[in-house]
Amino acid sequence: MEIYLDNAATTPLLPEVETAMMTTFKQFGNPSSLHRKGVQAEDVLKRTRQQILHSLEVRQGRVVFTGGGTEANNLAIFGTVRRFPNRGKHLVTTSIEHPSVLEVYRYLGRHGWDVTFIDPDASGQVHAQDILSALRPDTLLVSMMHVNNETGAILPVQQVGEVLKGRRQTLFHVDGIQAFGKVSACLVNAQADLYTVSAHKLGGPKGVGALYLRQGVEINPLLLGGGQEFGIRSGTENVVGIAGFGAAAALAEQALPDSWNHVQDLYDVLSDGLKKIGASVVTPYPFSPYVINASFPGIRAEVLLHALEAQGVYVSTGSACSTHKGRVQSSHVLRAMNRPHEEIAGAVRFSLARWLTLEDVQTALVRVAEQVQWLQRVGG
């Protein structure tokens, strides 16, 4: 029996999502066409926009479809700084962001923008006061993730967002990709002007994301062309993928809050079991139960990953977007937390999903224990 515990990287396509996509394959029209085939395709986009708004628990605002979460994050940041080149040259983010945010800010820092990177504490949590203390009169944009993809830390987006509501010159962007469909009322809690989501983290297809813009928020496009997606993201929309996104979002919404409670139970069993095997587990507070970061003394992460893979258990060494074929980069998140070198080199991420069972977790723990004991004997 294979046990897939790398759901923070991507998830399997759910059967209901596949059905929705296969049905939409027959609606091949271009959403921009005025005839009936185009109208049918446009209806798919409209229904999915409404579903995402409903899942975010908001009624107003725009949902702009993109080619994934990375594009959505890039669009939020670049779109803002290009829209307001003279409002302010200061930007704030954290040092534990996903590469699709972190690398954009590093790029802007090399091209005339003044960027402040806020570090977490040793547990992985970023403090709201550190973000707020970094604000200046010329701060244009603050970006921070809702849930960290490597440690599961839930960042204090609500506290930051509530303060930023009173600063009209500063926009607030939240990367909600690891929160959407898992954290109830994620956008309401975030108080964000811009909020990014992605389909393949909750049982939907890869290559489909979205950027939510609060009503009244304007940004500049990155792609110019036919003016699709309110003129913010030109290009013919991926109608089949968007239909899958809508189905996945609806399923995730229907499962809340029971899914959170179920995954919390799985987290407790997995976390306790890993500690009994001798793991050091990162424990930020508050945290999402969907992610566990653990390391075992004397065992390198990639060695354990492949040992577990041979036994049918799939985990990761961190963010899949910062791991390249043949080369595993050490975690920038754990480095920012000032964790010991041995722990960083041995860090493995176990990420859960609502469709996993207690039996899945218990079986995985047995296999992890066997491989850890074997590797410790042979000097892994």
Q: What is the pLDDT of residues 170-206, one digit of tens each?
A: 999 999 999 999 998 888 888 999 999 999 999 999 9
Catalytic residue (choose from 134, 222, 321, 375) = 321
| Residue 139 clears pLDDT 70, i.e. is over it | yes
Q: What is the pLDDT of residue 327?
A: 55
Q: What is the mean pLDDT of the chain?
A: 94
Provide the percentage of residues in the chain whose pLDDT is more than 90. Answer: 90
* E strand map for the chain: 3-4, 62-66, 90-94, 114-118, 139-145, 171-175, 194-198, 209-213, 280-281, 291-295, 313-314, 323-324, 327-328, 348-351
Residues 178 and 188 in one domain: yes
Q: How many Cα atoms are found within 13 Å in the side-chain-facing hemisphere of 152?
A: 25
Residues 224-281: pLDDT tens digits? 999 999 999 999 999 999 999 999 999 999 999 999 999 999 999 999 999 999 999 9
Find out whether 199 and 245 touch, Cβ atoms under 8 Å.
yes
With the C-alpha atoms ordered 156, 157, 158, 159, is the resulting torsion angle positive or negative? Answer: positive
Give the mean pLDDT of 344-371: 97
Find out whether 3 and 313 touch, Cβ atoms under 8 Å.
yes
* Residue with the two structure tokens 């989501």: 197
Residues 151 and 267 in one domain: no
Residues 199 and 266 in one domain: no
Q: What is the pLDDT of residue 322?
A: 52
Query: Is 186 a catalytic site residue?
Result: no
Q: What is the pLDDT of residue 83?
A: 97
Question: Which residue, 205, 239, 255, sits at the end of a domain?
Answer: 255
What span, in angstroms and rounded, lies between the C-alpha atoms of 54 and 60?
10
Residue 289 sits in a domain of what CATH number?
Answer: 3.90.1150.10
| Residue 325 clears pLDDT 80, i.e. is over it | no
Question: Which residue, 191, 226, 255, sits at the end of a domain?
Answer: 255
Largest CA distance in the chain: 69
* Tally of structural domains, the chain: 2
Residues 44 and 71 in one domain: yes
Please tell me what DSSP assigns to residue 219. -
Task: Please give the residue range of the domain that contains residue 32.
Answer: 15-255
pLDDT band per the 50, 70, 90 thresholds, residue 164: very high
Percentages helix, strand, coil for the chain (3-state, rounded to 5) are 40, 15, 40
| Residue 293 clears pLDDT 60, i.e. is over it | yes
Find out whether 141 and 91 touch, Cβ atoms under 8 Å.
yes
Residues 37-87: pLDDT tens digits? 889 999 999 999 999 999 999 999 999 999 999 999 999 999 999 999 999
Residues 218 and 78 in one domain: yes
Residues 80 and 138 in one domain: yes
Name the token pair of 292: 């566990």
Give the mean pLDDT of 103-126: 97
User: Counting Cβ atoms within 10 Å, is residue 133 exposed (0-12), middle (13-18) or buried (19+)?
Assistant: exposed
Residues 132 and 182 in one domain: yes
Q: What is the pLDDT of residue 204?
A: 98
Residues 247 and 261 in one domain: no
Q: For strand 139-145 and strand 209-213, is the pairing parallel, antiparallel, or unpaired?
A: unpaired
Residue 220 sits in a domain of what CATH number?
Answer: 3.40.640.10
Residues 363 and 304 in one domain: yes
Q: How many Cα atoms are found within 13 Å in the side-chain-facing hemisphere of 295?
A: 23
Residues 234 and 270 in one domain: no
What span, in angstroms and rounded, lies between the C-alpha atoms of 142 and 353?
30
Residues 148 and 165 in one domain: yes
Q: What is the pLDDT of residue 328?
A: 57
pTM exceeding 0.85: yes
Residues 34-49: pLDDT tens digits? 999 889 999 999 999 9
Question: Which residue, 212, 232, 255, sits at the end of a domain?
Answer: 255
Provide the percentage of residues in the chain whose pLDDT is more than 70. Answer: 97
Q: For strand 62-66 and strand 209-213, is the pairing parallel, antiparallel, or unpaired?
A: antiparallel
Q: What is the pLDDT of residue 189?
A: 84
Residues 290 and 249 in one domain: no
Q: What is the pLDDT of residue 299?
A: 95
